[in-house]
Structure 1
């Protein structure tokens, strides 16, 4: 065994976005992450250039298909655009997603910051039968 210290992996905003996406999609009542035109245009902005210049930076913003994650000074902020199932109360789904994403972020060693949820659609689940 060596006494040399091993540097840990860096948690990036891209990883936080991935964790937030997976966590949201595993939440009952969430049908999908909803990409928007606004999100697509934002990805073409300055943050995209920053990600190209320094993709391993711990500080920064990552946007992809309805998810934005920003890490700033050890705090992770997330914005999710989601579609929910009409069989669930949208507010309850959003609150549950917020809570679960906060918990998931806390496991990375970062401090969870704001977790914003925008519900862009409320629709019947394709597997739901109509009465």
Structure 2
């Protein structure tokens, strides 16, 4: 065997999305992820395929991962936040946490994390 052989491992976008979703949900002030209309359709198709195959579905609703032609990974996270937190601070914390956790768990560097706040829910009593 040649000592110069090269093996490349590619982490697919659905895996990166699941990791990103868990990181975002673990950020204080995030109530839930929000899939939006496009995300709902994609989720129904994905979950249907996985159920047909007998596989469990990873939670990726509200997260879109795109790999550009140059290989750069971009993550979009759609959120609902708690009203008792500052929106900008939570958004920044989500960006940092998603970038950190994805890199830590996969070795993939995220070029961009964009956060879209779809709603703010009142504090629970």
TM-score (norm 1): 0.69
Please state which structure has a larger fraction of its residues in strand: 1
Please state which structure has a larger fraction of its residues in helix: 2
Structure-2 residue corresponding to 1:101: 98
1:38 shift after superposition: 3.0
Match for residue 88 of structure 1 among 85, 90, 97: 85
Q: Give structure 2 stretches of 5+ with no counterpart.
A: 50-59
1:114 shift after superposition: 1.2
1:105 shift after superposition: 2.1
CA separation in 2, counterparts of 1:106 and 1:76? 11
TM-score (norm 2): 0.72
1:106 shift after superposition: 1.8
1:70 shift after superposition: 1.4
CA separation in 2, counterparts of 1:83 and 1:109? 28
1:65 shift after superposition: 2.2
Q: Give structure 1 stretches of 5+ with no counterpart.
A: 53-63
1:37 shift after superposition: 0.9
1:124 shift after superposition: 1.9
Secondary structure of the residue aligned to 1:78 is strand
Seen in structure 2, the aligned counterparts of structure 1 residues 97 and 20 have a Cα distance that, compared at 3 Å, is same
CA separation in 1, counterparts of 2:16 and 2:63? 10
Structure-2 residue corresponding to 1:122: 120
Seen in structure 2, the aligned counterparts of structure 1 residues 76 and 17 have a Cα distance that, compared at 3 Å, is same
CA separation in 2, counterparts of 1:6 and 1:74? 18
Match for residue 77 of structure 1 among 74, 78, 81: 74
Matched length? 106
1:9 shift after superposition: 4.7
